[in-house]
Amino acid sequence: MFEAIIIGLVEGLTEFLPISSTGHMLIANFFLKGSYSDAFYVLIQVGPIAACTLVFWRDIISFFVNWKNPGTKDYVLKLFVAFFLTGLGGLIAKMCGLKLPETILPVALSVLIGAFVIFAVEYKSKKRTLNSNITWAVVVAIALGQLSAAIFPGASRSGMAIMGALIVGLARPDAVKFAFLVGIPTMFVAGSYELFKEIKAGNTYDLILPESIVAYIVATISAWLSVVWLLKFVQTRNFIPFAWYRIVLGIGLIIFLLLGELQH
159 pLDDT more than 60: yes
pLDDT of residue 58: 95
Cα 122 to Cα 167: distance, rounded to the nearest angstrom: 9
CA 129 centroid distance within chain: 26
The DSSP annotation for 181-197 comes to: HHHHHHHHHHHHHHHHH
pTM of the model: 0.92
263 pLDDT more than 60: no
Q: Note the pLDDT tens digit of each residue in 207-222.
A: 999 999 999 999 999 9
Which is more confidently placed, 257 or 160?
160
pLDDT of residue 261: 58
231 pLDDT more than 50: yes
264 pLDDT more than 50: no
The DSSP annotation for 166-228 comes to: HHTTB-HHHHHHHHHHHHHHHHHHHHHHHHHHHHHTT-HHHHTSHHHHHHHHHHHHHHHHHHH
Q: Note the pLDDT tens digit of each residue in 8-61.
A: 999 999 999 999 998 898 888 878 876 788 899 999 999 999 999 999 999 999
Q: Note the pLDDT tens digit of each residue in 232-245.
A: 999 999 999 999 99
SS (H, E, C) 91-106: HHHHHCCCCCCCCHHH
